[in-house]
Chains A and B, each alone.
Chain A
Amino acid sequence: MVDLAPPLLLDKYYLQGERGERDELRLSSHFQPIYSLAHRRPVGYEGLIRAVHSSSGRNVEPLELFSKAPQGEERIRLDRQCRALHVRNFQRLGNTRSWLFLNVDPQVASEGLRYGAFFLRMLQSNGFPAHRVAVELIETPFEDETRLVAAVEHYRKLGCLIVIDDFGAGYSNFDRIWRLRPDIVKIDREMTRRVTVEPLARRMFTGIISVLHEAGALVCVEGIETEAEALCAIDAHADLMQGDYFAPGGSELLPENARSETFARLIAGHRADVADFQRRQHARLVPYLASLKNAVQDVALGAKLQPAVQGLLKLPSAQRCYLIGSDGLQIGANVDAESNVYSQDPRFEAVQPTEGTDWQTKDYFRRAIESPGKAQITRPYLSVTGPKLCVTLSFAFEASDGSQQVLCVDLDFAALAGEDVAFGVSNLLA
């Protein structure tokens, strides 16, 4: 087994077989680096358990290993054995700066409190400072969240960092973020997969990471296997990245600068992609912006809305135009593009905008009013006239009666963005 070569320590674990026989497993540690994008080097390593049947040499996956240990005290003991092994092995590898990420099942974390100060004693006896340990709580339902909070507080008091795993899937949700106040949030790897293939998920990715930043956490995107996934993580402002694309788990630590070239290439690639994308989006929006300005001039000179926006509504992605007063209330009905009149979804009749509908809390209204004479562009959202995602361009101007008004046009986002729908318009002219 090249994999398990020294200098790492091996441990043994005995499984009770169905007919009372004892199965011997050899346990060892693998470490997968976690990179900081800003530093372009690993800032932490996640300890992963490797188990091999002594007799057959067969690999046993961690999930299988833990499912074989009877729940309760036996499983807690195995969990502790693995963590202690990782700490001892990590010490032997000589890294004196980085974090060590250790997985803990919420069940084990909360029950562990009853079994005393194992964790602190273990760290102390191995000479490993608690402030370099990141305790990772995996996503599992846990009926007694109050006890989980107590367990997390215990680790925090020891001085460890708190990490929530698998955010966005199953039980790893915002309510847990608020309860546990993690220092680092790891995004569910299913999301990492999804963002490169689903435009819907891709657009939301940046927003999700930004919300997690506002929660006061660093965000780690894990399970990165391709360059496309790495580029999405960079574009979405992930702080930390982990995955086989950078380095798989191994029994040795790579040199710190082993991925410098990868990072240089990624960041240069990202820069070029963004510039390209912005150019394309800009080119696409130019006719709409020009036509919106023409319409504004006509309306400002006293023209009626309907004739003033005819040119604008002839453009392929334009859906509808509407005028809003300075109080945020819509003036008159929408003027719909012909193509749009026939495609209205009956399910959204209940929320059709009309004269007097109030848009004052909407971003496109607020931003336009704050910067008169400048076109504003929203991120894509579901318009209440649905069912399509739309982007709204808005423009505040002085009407012929001296009052301020905002002219808006909704564009069909999918039609506008074409194949570029995935990158969103977030980077554009914002």
Chain B
Amino acid sequence: MSPPGDATNTTDLAPSRPDILFVEAEGGSPSEFRLFSHFQPIFSLAHRRPVGYEGLIRGTDSNGKAYLATELLAKAPAGVPRMQLDRQCRALHVRNFRQLGDEESWLFLNVDPYIAVQGLRFGSFAHMLEENGLPAHRVAVELIETPFDDEKRLVAAVEHYRTIGCLIVIDDFGAGYSNFDRIWRLKPDIVKIDREMTRRVTVEPLARRMFTGIISVLHESGALVCVEGIETEAEALCATDADADLMQGNYFAAPAAQLPSEHACDDLFARLLRNFRLETAEFYDQRRVRLQPYIAALADAVLALSAGADRASAVRALLDLDCTERCYLVAGDGSQIGASVETERSAAARDRRLTPIRPVTGTNWQTKPFFRRAIEAPGKVQITRPYLSATGPKLCVTLSYALSLNGSYHVLCVDLDFAALAGDDLAFGLTKLPL
């Protein structure tokens, strides 16, 4: 969001034709607002240029005081007047966008689910686009996150926009009602991630680690993913690492009445991707260095076991390392053989709330990735992503290795305390943050 003061800058508003809005004030005298379009570019990371623009309303009253879209909408009485204002705004964006001469990019238009549903009865959206010569396939209809009691009617409204030929966008994913159930119902073409998440990923390791997974799940839903509200290079780096397709935010370009040149951000993208490469390389180097002693000790333990050593002595050196929590041996059918060998530190820190799921002999790990991957690739160390260990309450990483013992495959596993192992580097992109 640009500061509201922007809207009073008249040179900035020159290409944007204003509309007039009358609002019946409570005292009786109507106030008059001038409405302007601002456009914020949405960049494709792969193309390094804007591929769309989101239309945002700015308004000023007769005294020149500036208002944001939400403030203006709140001034219009709920019901038909608010709906009319909403449509007036969209029509203004379309007219202004046409004037700016862009013939290729998408125009993102916000629609409240409630208005989307009501609008069906009026059915003039396609008509408005046609009048202004903007093809529907260049319009991305953005549904904002609000509770909506009748989701069936929302589906019908979305189908209406899809039939016209528009792209469907879900806004604010990950917050409030913008949830997976809505994704399945509306099958959007583009999902915009809630900007609160964008904020969170650079300060919270937990959120940062989940970010990549969330975007990857959204990709599997068949949507492009847009990270919005990007204000810093750290946020842009996280979005890049998490494989976002589209990026939007003041870090790239603030909303303005004019479109920036296509190459305005070339240098910024070049720097961003250079830093991304450097940080990725550094991150993987550090991870390799930190894991190396554990992998070596695991290999030694495997050798000792194969040579017939008893389990406790075979894994002693492994357990002596700083971040080791426990070791356990799993048979080829996935069932654990004997109890886990635990470090004293780990036994002392045991969370008694997790007693019901403590692993014991016979506990079956055959559906777990650390078992499946090891048994499919004997002789190779497998490393999991961090997850809650069954003896918790810590996140752990499991190293596993399939070896042949007495003629059948077994998997030797070691759980490492992830936080202790990663130190400040808990998640990529957090290294340079004061944690």
Contacts and interface: CB of A to CB of B under 8 A. Distances in A.
Contacts of A201: 184
Interface string B207-231: 1011001101101111110000000
Nearest to B102: A350
A270 interface: yes
Interface in A66-122: 97-99
B208 to A, nearest CB: 10
Contacts of B179: 168-173
Q: Which of A39, A40, A216, A217 has the most CB of B within 10 A?
A: A216
A191 interface: yes
B75 to A, nearest CB: 23
A298 interface: no
A173 B175 contact: yes
Contact of B356 (A98, A200, A345, A362): A98
B167 interface: yes
B213 A211 contact: yes
Interface in B264-289: 273, 276-277
Contacts of B180: 168-169, 191, 204, 208
Given A204-B220, A207-B213, A215-B206, A362 B243 contact: yes
B241 A361 contact: yes
A384 B393 contact: no
B214 A213 contact: no
B185 to A, nearest CB: 10
Q: Which of A178, A353, A357, A361 has the most CB of B within 10 A?
A: A361
Interface stretch (B79-87, B114-122, B309-317, B363-371): B363-371
Given A216-B206, A237-B367, A351 B357 contact: no
Contact of B216 (A43, A183, A190, A379): A379
Interface string B194-211: 101100100010110110
Contacts of B223: 382
Q: Which of B138, B219, B365, B367 has the most CB of A within 10 A?
A: B367
A175 B173 CA distance: 10
Interface string B175-192: 111111100100101000
A198 interface: yes
A141 B146 CA distance: 11
B138 A350 contact: yes
Contact of A361 (B45, B167, B177, B359): B45
A382 B222 CA distance: 5
Contacts of B46: 351, 353, 357-359, 361-362, 384
Contacts of A245: none
A207 B367 contact: no
Contact of A215 (B174, B210, B355): B210
Interface string A349-392: 11101000111111100000000000000011110101101000
A38 B359 contact: yes
Contacts of B48: 358
Interface in B130-155: 135, 137-138, 147
A44 B356 contact: yes
Contact of A386 (B189, B197, B390): B189
A161 interface: yes
Given A173-B176, A178-B204, A214-B213, A381 B365 contact: no
Contacts of A293: none
A7 interface: no
Interface residues of B, number: 76
Nearest to A240: B357
A169 B48 CA distance: 35
Interface in A154-192: 159-161, 168-175, 178, 181, 183, 188, 190-191
B126 interface: no
Given A218-B357, A353-B46, A188 B210 contact: no
Given A208-B180, A237-B369, A347-B165, A183 B353 contact: yes
Interface string B359-398: 1000111111100000000000000011110101101000
A347 B189 contact: yes
B387 A214 contact: yes
Contacts of A386: 189
Given A173-B178, A346-B137, A178 B207 contact: yes
Contacts of B44: 351, 384
A50 interface: no
Contacts of A178: 200, 204, 206-207
Contacts of A12: none
A380 B221 CA distance: 9
B68 interface: no
A203 interface: yes
B385 A194 contact: no
Nearest to B384: A213
Q: Chain A interface residue count: which class?
A: 35 or more
A211 B177 CA distance: 19
Contacts of B224: 351, 382, 384
B47 interface: yes
B245 A168 contact: no
A53 to B, nearest CB: 30
B197 A350 contact: no
B158 to A, nearest CB: 15
Given A207-B216, A389-B222, A168 B210 contact: no
A149 interface: no
Contacts of B356: 36, 43-44, 97-99, 132
Contacts of A358: 45-48, 273
A22 interface: no
Nearest to B50: A350
A314 interface: no
Contacts of A351: 44, 46-47, 51, 224, 245
A267 interface: yes
A170 B222 CA distance: 21
A174 B222 contact: no
B288 to A, nearest CB: 12
B385 A210 contact: yes
B357 A43 contact: yes
A271 interface: yes
Contacts of A159: 353
Given A210-B213, A267-B366, A382-B222, A216 B395 contact: yes
Interface in B242-259: 243, 245
Contacts of A380: 220
A398 B348 CA distance: 54
Nearest to B360: A39
Nearest to B365: A38
B174 A173 contact: yes
B367 A37 contact: yes
A174 B385 contact: no
Given A39-B363, A175-B175, A350-B105, A361 B221 contact: no
Contact of A38 (B214, B243, B364): B364
Contacts of B174: 173-175
A131 interface: yes
A234 interface: yes
B385 A204 contact: no
Contacts of B387: 213-214, 216
A112 B395 CA distance: 31
B352 interface: yes
B122 to A, nearest CB: 24
19 contacts: A38-B365, A38-B390, A39-B364, A44-B356, A97-B356, A174-B174, A175-B196, A178-B207, A188-B181, A203-B220, A204-B217, A207-B217, A347-B166, A347-B189, A349-B104, A362-B46, A379-B219, A384-B46, A389-B222
Smallest CB-CB A-B distances: 9 pairs:
A207-B217, A211-B213, A381-B219, A43-B356, A213-B387, A168-B180, A174-B174, A347-B137, A131-B353
